[in-house]
Amino acid sequence: MSFPLLDEWLPANSEPERPQMILSTVSGSGIPDARTVLLTEFDSDGLYFHTDSRSRKVADIAANPAVALTFLWPGFTRQLVVQGRAEMAPAPELVAAFEARSPYLKQLAWLNSAEFAQLELDERLSQWAAFELPAEAPNTWIGFLVRPTRLTFWRSNQDAASRREEFTLVGGDWVSSYLPG
Ligand SMILES: Cc1cc2nc3c(=O)[nH]c(=O)nc-3n(C[C@H](O)[C@H](O)[C@H](O)COP(=O)(O)O)c2cc1C
């Protein structure tokens, strides 16, 4: 998979500030859900995000790997929607992704438990401050690769109608088309 527009629109993987995207999932009983996650990186296989294995999104993906990712740029300028299938990220990527996270996000991965969320603010502050961050990721750290099956690049135009450029995987080949906004 190689899309010049992806390289043009998304920041390089080396950029420390990671883009936000809405990850949409569908549960095993067909109920949709959505939340914001960070795009960790992307390559010719697809787009990667990382999360906690105990989270609802992971239960959804285990039941139904079909997901959508939505990126929005400020100021009515651009939107990118990616449909695809989520699979577990390879182990080396998982390790590298944790290493690339900021100290704050590493600690969040360690302390992001249901028990911690129940504590009063004072207790959360003191446990957070006292925590000694291990070098490695917690065993709840999990990553997913979203292999796209469709990418839709929406662009506004002040002097004309907005338009979408869409790439759909059909029988192993990418087919492109233009759609109205
Ligand atoms: C700007 C922003 C970035 C976020 N990035 C992540 C992320 O990269 N990974 C993650 O698991 N949760 C992230 N979250 C929290 C999720 O939105 C969500 O609340 C959490 O993962 C639990 O989701 P779930 O219960 O639907 O699984 C982020 C939230 C915000 C507002």
Q: What is the pLDDT of residues 112-123, one digit of tens each?
A: 999 999 999 999
Q: Look at residue 132 and tell me if it is in a domain.
A: no
Residue 123 included in any domain? no
Q: What's the total number of domains in the chain?
A: 1
Give me the CATH number covering residue 76.
2.30.110.10
User: What domain range includes position 41?
Assistant: 4-101+139-180
- The yes-or-no verdict on residue 67 having pLDDT over 80 is yes
Protein residues whose CB sits closer than 6 Å to any atom of ligand 1: 20, 33, 35-38, 49-52, 55-57
Supply the residue whose CA is at minimum distance from atom 14 of ligand 1. 37
Residue 159 lies inside a defined structural domain of this protein: yes
**Could you write out the three-class secondary structure of the chain?**
CCCHHHHHHCCCCCCCCCCEEEEEEECCCCCEEEEEEECCEECCCCEEEEEECCCHHHHHHHHCCEEEEEEECCCCCEEEEEEEEEEECCHHHHHHHHHHCCHHHHHHHHHCCHHHHHCCHHHHHHHHHHCCCCCCCCCCEEEEEEEEEEEEEEECCCCCCCEEEEEEEECCEEEEEEEEC
Q: Is the pLDDT of residue 1 over 90?
A: no
Q: Is residue 83 part of a domain?
A: yes
Q: Which atom of ligand 1 is nearest to the CA of 40?
A: 8
Per-residue pLDDT of 27-57, as tens digits, reads 999 999 999 999 999 999 999 999 999 999 9
Residue 122 belongs to a domain? no
Domain assignment present for residue 70? The answer is: yes
Q: Could you tell me the distance, in angstroms and rounded to a whole number, from the CA of residue 9 to the centre of ligand 1?
A: 22
pTM to 2 decimals?
0.96
